[in-house]
Amino acid sequence: MTLARARQARARVNLVRELSNGLAAHIYTLPDDVWRNAAQYGSPCPGWKLADVITHLVVGANMLSLSIARALKGQTSPPMGYRNFDGGDATADLVSLRETYHEDLFPEFNASCRRLNNVLASLDADSMDAPAFHPAREMSISRLIDIRALELAVHGWDIRYALDRSTTLPASALPFLCEWLPNWLSAGYRTGEPLDAPVTYRFALTDEGAAARDVVVRGDGFSVAEAGDGSADVTFACDTDTHLLFCMGRLPFARSVRRGRLSFEGDERAAARFTEWFGPV
C-alpha cells in the first residue's frame, strides 16, 4: 500500500470512530419508547423502524470485527452465523434480532462499535489490502472500513431524521461521501435500454468552492464527472448536503423543490425522472 493510500485508510478509521462516537451520543438521547414500542418510530429506510436501523449497524459492526480478524489470519470464508448475500429480504431476521435486543439495543450498539473501533485502531498499513469476507463479495479490509464509514454517515442521518427533519449529514463525512457517490449510484441504478440520446443532469452546488458535477444517463449505463463545458438537460441547484441526500434517495424530488431545498432548470419530467433512474440502496 502506498503512503498516500495508507494515510487515506487511517483517515477513514478516524472518521469511523468520530461518526460512531457522535451517533452513540445521539442515540443515548432517544426516547425509551424507541426500544420498547419500536413500531411507533419509522425511518427513511423502507420497511425499517428506527430501532431496525440501529440493529443493522450493530450487525454490521459485529460482522466486520469478525471478518477483519479472520482476514488477518488469511481466512475469507463467512464467519460463523453469517453468509453471502443471496438477494433475499433480510428484514425479518433484522426485526427478530431487534426484538431480542429490546431495551439492550443501545448497550449493544456501544459494545459493537467499541469492539470494531479497537480492531481498526490495531491495524497497520500492510494489513489494509488483505482480502476479507463481506456478504456482497470478497473485498479488502480498507474497503470494509469505507463501507462502515458510509453506513454510519447515511444511517446516522436516517436515525436523526426520524425525529428531526432539519438534520443534515455530518460535515466531516461530506468529502468522503462525494467521493463514494458514484459507487452508491451504481448500486441503485435501474439499467434499461440505451437511450436515443444521453440525458445530462448537472448539479450546480451552492457551497463556496464546490465544483459542479454532471451525472450523464445513457439508459444502459451512466457516468459521473465534474461538469463539462456543454449544456445540461437539467440543472439542479442545491448545497452538497442536499445533493448527496437527493442522489441517495433520501429526499423526494417534488417535496424538495416545494420546500426550497432543491431548484432546477430544464424539463420537469426529465428532472423528476432522476429518482426513477437511481433508486434507494
Residues of the chain below pLDDT 70: 87-89
In a 13 Å sphere around the CA of 101, the CA atoms on its Cβ side amount to: 26
Q: Which of 57, 79, 56 lies closest to 68, judged by CA?
A: 79
How far is CA 35 from each of CA 24, 25, 38, 91, 262, rounded to the nearest angstrom? 15, 16, 5, 17, 34
Residue 232 confidence (pLDDT): 96
CA 157 to CA 5: how far, in whole Å? 27
Class of domain 179-277: alpha beta
Q: Which of 245, 217, 225, 170 lies closest to 14, judged by CA?
A: 170
Residue 16 confidence (pLDDT): 98
Domains of the chain: which residue ranges?
Answer: 3-169, 179-277
Residue 88 confidence (pLDDT): 61
CA 230 to CA 201: how far, in whole Å? 12
Residue 7 confidence (pLDDT): 87
Whole-model pTM: value is: 0.94
Residue 80 confidence (pLDDT): 87
CA 36 to CA 262: how far, in whole Å? 37
Mapping DSSP to helix (H, G, I), strand (E, B) and coil, where does residue 9 land?
A: helix
Q: In what order do the strands lie in the sheet with 263-266?
A: 222-226, 213-217, 199-205, 234-238, 263-266
In tens, the pLDDT along 224-251 reads 999 988 899 999 999 999 999 999 999 9
In tens, the pLDDT along 103-122 reads 999 999 999 999 999 999 99
Residue 91 confidence (pLDDT): 85
Class of domain 3-169: mainly alpha
Mapping DSSP to helix (H, G, I), strand (E, B) and coil, where does residue 197 land?
A: coil
Residue 49 confidence (pLDDT): 95
Cell of 135: 456478504
